[in-house]
A and B are shown apart, each in its own frame.
Chain A
Amino acid sequence: MASLTIKDARKTFGKVEVLKGIDIDVASGEFLVLVGPSGCGKSTLLNLIAGLESISSGEIRIGDRVVNHVSPKDRDIAMVFQSYALYPNMNVRKNISFGLETRKTPQAEIDKIVTSVAKTLQIEELLDRKPKQLSGGQRQRVAMGRALARNPDVFLFDEPLSNLDAKLRVEMRTEIKLLHQRIGTTIVYVTHDQIEAMTLADRIAVMKDGIVQQLDTPRNVYENPVNRFVAGFIGSPSMNFIPCRVTAQDGQPSLVLANDTGTAYSLSPARWTEALTGRMEKQVILGLRPEHITEEAPGSNGDAEARLRIESTVRVVEPTGPDTLVMVPFNDIEVTCRVHPGAARKPGEPMPLTVDLSKAILFDPETETRLQ
């Protein structure tokens, strides 16, 4: 196992610059997830790390070695692909041992490795089958077995769960996490699914348009996003972005939330004052996650910031099982709130809500960066 260092990596295809200067340090044994929408460059970055594409400029190090010009087979990496890429004409045993054979490993050792890998992944009874006789989940395990057998410094995963059905995806996700806990190899994992990113990663790199937007632990990426893109990408259902005008209220700069019946609520917690002063009469975007807008909480109204009471008319109700999502209008946009199933009102009825403003985040509407 080794660390992985990417320094100012750039990749251009013809005239298009797909990666615009990526800097990432992966510690030895760390599980890094690259997440982002289609076309953000995450698969290209993975191919650069693997050596399947050549880097246009910048540096990639595995351990202490600069590997920019080292061919994939000498980089001591192993990769699991979205479509598994198992060799159709070979059985499972040969698929796993192919990489060992090309490296002229003695047969006795190959047999030992194949048996131990098959045991780890519970595919012992599949060893003599061909890929077309396996189910999707089994193929995925064989693909992982092929990578495991190589005992590499870095594991690369390119959206390995995307071809599985939802239930299997959740099961395999847990298995991958357990595998990492057990063998502790450095992993770089690409996905477009932010839930996979959150559940698997030690750290997440959120990418967009070839640039790393934020590189941080899952918790920080969720609670302290640096810009609107990261805030909206991570978390499902997505964060609400409510456009508000900054006005003066009792000498304090404050934001106004207006519901559809004309009631306006003024928000001016102290910790916002610095960010809002100097933006009088301008717009800001108020970011609130659905779980921070809930049903009316009984009891004290002591902490005004954490327990602001507001109300609006229910437009849409979506029960998800554990909670119910309620859409209400504020400032002319639909705001999603997460309430207890029993407390949800019907469409057309007014719904009293409690907002936890201590978790709210302000964004600049033009630069889309975080304000405080």
Chain B
Amino acid sequence: MANARDIGVGEGRARFWARMGIYAILVLAALYFLIPLVVMVLTSVKSMADIRTGNLISLPTAITFKPWTEAWGKACIGASCEGVKPYFWNSIKITVPAVTISTLIGAANGYVFSKWRFGGSELLFSLLLVGCFIPFQVILLPMASTLGRLGLSQSIIGLIFVHIVYGLCFTTLFFRNYYVNLPDELIKAARIDGAGFFRIFWRIILPLSAPIFVVSIIWQTTQIWNDFLFGVVFSTGQNQPVTVALNNLVNTSTGVKNYNVDMAAAIIAALPTLVVYLAAGKYFMRGLTAGSVKG
């Protein structure tokens, strides 16, 4: 690591001002990203009176967590007034299976594409990649009609299905690129030792996949939890995920717009992905840059 003191940027005075300039830009950028969060947090603990009389970044006169309990259990979303709690659980019911299944299938796909070349495997992989880059809006109608035919329209299972399918291209890509760096000789040695396709996957490949599992799980969790488009199109009413519910909450107002409740609900909706990044973010970077395995 280069010592900041040793990086010569100009001499004496000029170096000092250059350093100040860099810090100023960094602080401004940080503020730009943080201020919305600060506003949200402050607003969510203020009473409506404080909001009316203060400005966006004024401190509350008294901190109240009433907006939070209301957002969680009492706010009216559309016709029902149960807060975001049921929709929060919907999101969990959607995210956990979708992340797990798309990650596992992605691992198997990546294993096949990287270690067992078969006729047409490169073509198949390219087609899969093309699928990654199709804008999701393009497939809304075909997917809706497919779900209808499968009898899954407007259901949670249908939504899980959609997320699995559209997560597959990313997870396959992650795992394939990771497994390509595992030495082929490992597979050869295992074949000579008598292991077949599944035993090699189970006993050798999977135990070595921890970094990329973390990457895939974090990525998929973020994508699926934060998704709005599929949620709003492929689910309805009580089946909706928390992102859609949030939108409905903000648009449901009987007279007064309760900004503090809205802010609290938004933070509740964002909390899981925030927690995932805080807890496992460094493993994400480590997993992405994990090199080949020695020995």
Q: Which residues of A contact B (CB under 8 A)?
A: 50, 52, 71-73, 77-79, 81-89, 98-99, 102-103, 131-132, 134, 139, 146, 150
- Among A82, A102, A132, A134, which residue has the most Cβ atoms of chain B within 10 A? A102
Chain B interface, >50% SS class: helix
Do A73 and B192 have beta carbons less than 8 Å apart?
yes
Please name 6 pairs of A and B residues whose Cβ atoms are closer than 8 Å in the assembled complex, sorted by A.
A50-B188, A71-B191, A78-B192, A83-B295, A103-B194, A131-B295
CB distance from B266 to the nearest CB of A (A): 43
A73/B189 contact (C-beta < 8 A), A88-B208, A88-B295 known: no
Do B208 and A52 have beta carbons less than 8 Å apart?
no
A81/B185 contact (C-beta < 8 A), A88-B293, A88-B295 known: yes
Q: Does B52 contact A (CB under 8 A)?
A: no
Give CA–CA (A50, B294) in the complex, Å.
24
Do A102 and B193 have beta carbons less than 8 Å apart?
yes
Residues from chain B with a CB closer than 8 A to the CB of A89 are 204, 207-208
Do B204 and A87 have beta carbons less than 8 Å apart?
yes
Give CA–CA (A103, B196) in the complex, Å.
11
Do A81 and B199 have beta carbons less than 8 Å apart?
no
Closest B-chain residue to A94, C-beta based? B203
Q: Using C-beta atoms within 8 Å of the partner chain, give the interface range for chain B.
A: 10 to 19
Residues from chain B with a CB closer than 8 A to the CB of A83 are 183, 185, 295
Give CA–CA (A139, B185) in the complex, Å.
15
Residues from chain A with a CB closer than 8 A to the CB of B183 are 83, 85
Do A87 and B186 have beta carbons less than 8 Å apart?
yes
Partner of B191, one of A52, A134, A139, A146: A52
A99/B191 contact (C-beta < 8 A), A83-B183, A88-B295 known: no
A99/B193 contact (C-beta < 8 A), A83-B185, A134-B295 known: yes
- Among A85, A103, A131, which residue has the most Cβ atoms of chain B within 10 A? A85
Give CA–CA (A71, B199) in the complex, Å.
16
Give CA–CA (A73, B199) in the complex, Å.
13
Give CA–CA (A79, B190) in the complex, Å.
10
Partner of A77, one of B186, B192, B199, B203: B192
Give CA–CA (A252, B186) in the complex, Å.
63
CB distance from A186 to the nearest CB of B (A): 16
Closest B-chain residue to A84, C-beta based? B295
Closest B-chain residue to A80, C-beta based? B189
Closest A-chain residue to B189, C-beta based? A85
Give CA–CA (A79, B295) in the complex, Å.
15
Do A102 and B293 have beta carbons less than 8 Å apart?
no
Residues from chain A with a CB closer than 8 A to the CB of B191 are 52, 71-73
Give CA–CA (A72, B187) in the complex, Å.
12
Give CA–CA (A134, B294) in the complex, Å.
11
Closest A-chain residue to B293, C-beta based? A88
Q: B262-295 toward A: CB 8 Å interface, digit per residue (1/0)?
A: 0000000000000000000000000000000111
Do A50 and B208 have beta carbons less than 8 Å apart?
no
CB distance from A128 to the nearest CB of B (A): 16
